[in-house]
Amino acid sequence: EITLESIYARGLAKNGCPVKILSRGELESAVSVEAHKFSKAAAEKIEKAGGKATAFEKDGKAAE
């Protein structure tokens, strides 16, 4: 599972800044990812691998 907190903790984005997941490479196993936004291709790859892409508003609420 990749959460917004783990992204910030690893220094992949500045704490509190919006995070958008882009498509690059391939996934070989299912993974759940939380971010503020996903590119269409990234969300498709995550879901095709059996994972889940969860988009959150900047205030931390799940986006619809």
pLDDT tens per residue, range 10-42: 999 999 899 999 999 999 999 999 999 999 999
Q: Is residue 21 part of a domain?
A: yes
Q: Is residue 61 part of a domain?
A: no
Q: Is residue 62 part of a domain?
A: no
Q: Is residue 37 part of a domain?
A: yes
CATH code of 38's domain: 3.100.10.10
What range does the domain containing 44 cover?
Answer: 4-55
Global pTM reads 0.82
Element (H, E) at 17: none
Q: Is residue 18 part of a domain?
A: yes
Q: Is residue 15 part of a domain?
A: yes
Q: Is residue 45 part of a domain?
A: yes
pLDDT at res. 57: 77
Q: Is residue 64 part of a domain?
A: no
pLDDT(52) > 90: yes
pLDDT at res. 62: 62
Return contacts of 2-10, CB within 8 angstroms, 24+ apart: 2/31, 2/32, 2/33, 2/34, 3/34, 4/34, 4/35, 4/36, 4/56, 7/35
What are the distances in angstroms from CA 30 to CA 13, 14, 54? 23, 26, 14
